[in-house]
Structure 1
Amino acid sequence: MEMVQTLVRSVVRAFYTNPEDRRMILIIDALVRHTTLRDNDLSYLMHLNTKDLHRICGKLKEDHLLQIHLRPEIREGKEKPQNRIYYYIDYRQAIDAIKYRTFLLDKKVQGESTPQQEKKEYFCPLCKAEWTMLDVVDNNDPVRGFLCHRCNTVLVFDPDREAGGHELSTRLNSQIKFIIEVLPKLDAVNIPDVDFETLLSQAAPVYRDEANKIAPSVVVESLAKPTAVRGMANTGPQSIAISITDTDGPTEAEKEAERARKEEVAQMNALPEWHTRSTVSGLSFGGGSNSAVAAKKDETGDKKPDELVGDASHDEAMEELFKNLQKSQAEEARRKAEQEAEEEDEDVEESEDEEFVEISANVSSTGDKRPASSGPTSAADTPTSEDRPSKKVKLEEPANGGDSEDEDDVQFEDV
């Protein structure tokens, strides 16, 4: 473990060289010594607030050099648990991340290598032009050296400014030599795969002064150990039972379960009782599968077979009675409609046979002239026959055969 810890601390010092990244070096050193630290303890050691600490540790988490664990804890005097953040180093993941980053770095350097004949080693300090040896060999000053083709300024020779080919790869290997030499040795060493609980039990305590004491907290066991979390071991079934049968189709138990399921679904989809049974007479109306389900619901286990047969025959008889009643009502309505149509035809024929006759004022109903009246009526009071309008009077003749309703010989005359 000492070799692994040395490698991790060296890698952090080699690659995190910016001034703002130097805190990452101190965080890794603290975790190597204390094994596991809570966020408030690490912020106390680093003299940082918790927000800045989480930001810096997030960068290390992205590089797989640091791991985060959440654990619910309850402080003294509190009732609601809070998730506490713990930081630790998973050395197996850290070694894999170092190997991968080294491989990518070496591949990038070899991919960007430039052939030696195309290497630009002469640079103009005035116009910033870059030239190869072949470009400037024809513009040479015996005293000053090679000159720029653009401004005739003396060129600066810098072979390390853009090293290419095997030279850049050689320089890289020399710089990361401490990593390349240690990685093969670590492949031969068995690095234990420890979890958070094991590292927490081995953690070194953090001693605080009296001014920075915090209240102790107790872990919530029921919430701290979930039963199904991605990455946890032994969360699946411990044993698997396999049953082999000779039959190809479903077993009797499966058939019985399927039949019970279908009956349950049919009962759930059945119409209520007041839809299928009369609330006045108590009769059941047949209407398909729902009525059959309702009939099954009405049946109880206490009925005898004879009673069940009697109920079925009674329902059939009542259904037949209702069908006959509907037929008779339809026939009665049809007869009434035909009778009304015949009466309307007779009324039309009678109105066509009627005749009207004008009857004058001095003619009787039989056609004889009446004598002029000699009463005291004055000419002013009694209008003449020319002044009075003629009236039409309906004359009825005695019917033949004693039928008083026959109106075929009715005549009208003017009066």
Structure 2
Amino acid sequence: MDLAVTLIKAVMRAFYSTRDILVVDALILHEALRDDDLAYLMAINTKDLHKICGKLREDRFLTVHTRSELRPGNPRPSNRTWYYINYRHTIDAIKWRVYNIDKEVQGTTVPVNEKKEYFCSFCKAEWTAMEVLDSVGPEGFLCHRCRRPLSFEADRNAGGHEQSTRLNDQFKFISELLPKIDAAHIPECDFDRALSKARPVVRDATHQRAATIPVDDGSSRPMAVRGLANVGPQSIAVNISTSDGPSEAEKEAERLRKEKIAQQNALPSWMSNSTITGESFSATAEAGSLGLSKEAAGGESKSNLVDNSATTQIDDIFEKIKAEQAAMLAREADAEDEEEEEEYEEEEEEDDEFEDVMATGDASRGEDSSDDRANKRVKVEETGAAKADSGNEDEEDEDELEFEDV
């Protein structure tokens, strides 16, 4: 543990500001501190302290824990913030950052012939030795852009092995401690262990704070549910009986329980019975089956009488409606019969246009064939328009008007 503390202090003093160093040193000394106690030691307000601790938390130099605490006289608990150091996480974060920096330095390796060692102080241009060989003046090499003399610095853009060597020299205090820490055992550090080893903060008389009591909300138990502290059975009763089945008392209690449930679930009469016929939809709803008393049965009979009177009135209304519908159907049938008679008379009128005409001829012919030959029916067609036509048309019409049997 001493090696881990030494490593953390060395890194904080090499790369962080004074306030950050003081916060980490206070946590190393006291193991675990609440935010108001740490702000008192730092002589700053809690808002500025949270900003500093937020940055250190991102860098994994401290860990934040929130706990519900109860003040005396206040029934509602409040969440308080605690800080402590998890040494394993902090050492791993330091290793990771050193590895990333070393990887970046090794990745920027530049060959010697490509190093830009000459630069112009006027236009800030940089050139390699091969690029300025053809531009030489009385004062040395000249810039190709502004023709001014160039300055030479060998370590201006040092890279590759040179930069890696300088990095190793600067990180030597870290690289020497890390192998020793890997060989030693660093115990696991969580909030409970840090709080058990915490040193109290001694305040002066003018900066005392009220004592608080932690609230056990079940957060330490992974499967606990807040608000359900005791969900198990309060008591267990076991009855041992020698009979094969339930006793008479149990049967009676079961029957009473079922009757009570049936009374609670029973539907009113206007819902269970038909409003037209008064019959029950289930056809089994009786007062006796539900275990009703005689008074309840009498009240139901009265309601049934009222329902029957209403039913008879509804039946009369339906009979009247049926009679009106029958009368309407009879009137429609009579109207259809009248229409059929009118159509029949029109057809008879059309048939009257045909008349019987007796055949005419010579007397001798009539005498010979009067007994053997019957008179024939000839269609006579009168057309008013034909009489107004020319003479030739009149002769053709007369030929068509009379037909005789010869």
Identify whether the pair has TM-score above 0.5, normalized to the shorter chain: yes
Distance 1:146 1:79, change over 3 A: same
Distance 1:13 1:282, change over 3 A: farther
**AA partner of residue 52 (structure 1):** D
Distance 1:296 1:154, change over 3 A: farther
Q: Note the C-alpha offset of 1:339.
A: 2.6
Distance 1:102 1:277, change over 3 A: farther
Q: Within 2, Cα distance between the matches of 1:275 and 1:95?
A: 77
Q: In the alignment, does 2:330 pair up with 1:339?
A: yes
Q: Within 2, Cα distance between the matches of 1:50 and 1:62?
A: 18
2:81 corresponds to? 85
Structure 1 gaps of 5+ residues are: 230-269, 286-290, 303-324, 354-415
**AA partner of residue 54 (structure 2):** G
What does residue range 199-278 of structure 1 map to in structure 2 within 5 Å? 199-222=194-217, 225=220, 227-228=222-223, 277-278=273-274
Question: Does the 8 Å CA contact 1:116/1:164 hold for their aligned counterparts?
Answer: no
Q: Note the C-alpha offset of 1:2.
A: 0.6
State the TM-score, normalizing by the size of structure 1.
0.58
Q: Within 1, Cα distance between the matches of 2:288 and 2:48?
A: 75
Q: Note the C-alpha offset of 1:148.
A: 2.3
1:66 corresponds to? 62
1:33 corresponds to? 29
What does residue range 325-404 of structure 1 map to in structure 2 within 5 Å? 338-345=329-336
Question: Does the 8 Å CA contact 1:24/1:60 hold for their aligned counterparts?
Answer: yes
State the TM-score, normalizing by the size of structure 2.
0.59
Q: Note the C-alpha offset of 1:67.
A: 0.5
Q: Secondary structure at the match of 1:134?
A: coil
Q: Secondary structure at the match of 2:131?
A: helix
Q: Within 2, Cα distance between the matches of 1:206 and 1:14?
A: 28
Q: Note the C-alpha offset of 1:351.
A: 9.1
**Cα distance per residue 1:175-225 (max 9 Å; x no partner):** 112222222222222211122111111111211111211121111223664
Q: Within 2, Cα distance between the matches of 1:191 and 1:299?
A: 82
1:198 corresponds to? 193
1:42 corresponds to? 38
Q: Note the C-alpha offset of 1:109.
A: 1.8
Q: Note the C-alpha offset of 1:87.
A: 0.4
**Cα distance per residue 1:299-334 (max 9 Å; x no partner):** 9699xxxxxxxxxxxxxxxxxxxxxx9xxx999898
Q: Within 1, Cα distance between the matches of 2:286 and 2:63?
A: 63
Q: In the alignment, does 2:114 pair up with 1:113?
A: no
**AA partner of residue 61 (structure 2):** L
Q: Within 1, Cα distance between the matches of 2:201 and 2:159?
A: 50
1:145 corresponds to? 140
Question: Does the 8 Å CA contact 1:38/1:87 hold for their aligned counterparts?
Answer: yes
Q: Within 2, Cα distance between the matches of 1:183 and 1:2?
A: 13
Q: Within 2, Cα distance between the matches of 1:86 and 1:190?
A: 26
Question: Does the 8 Å CA contact 2:87/2:189 hold for their aligned counterparts?
Answer: no
**Cα distance per residue 1:261-320 (max 9 Å; x no partner):** xxxxxxxxx9x77556325755244xxxxx7xx979999699xxxxxxxxxxxxxxxxxx
Question: Does the 8 Å CA contact 1:119/1:132 hold for their aligned counterparts?
Answer: yes
1:3 corresponds to? 3
Structure 2 gaps of 5+ residues are: 225-264, 292-314, 345-406
The alignment-based identity, stated in percent, is: 48
1:133 aligned to 98, 121, 129, which one? 129
Distance 1:349 1:282, change over 3 A: closer
Question: Does the 8 Å CA contact 1:72/1:224 hold for their aligned counterparts?
Answer: no
Q: Note the C-alpha offset of 1:83.
A: 1.0
How many residues are treated as equivalent by the alignment?
A: 277
2:14 corresponds to? 14
**AA partner of residue 339 (structure 1):** A
Q: Which has the higher contact order (CA 8 A, sep 6+)?
A: 2
**AA partner of residue 157 (structure 1):** F
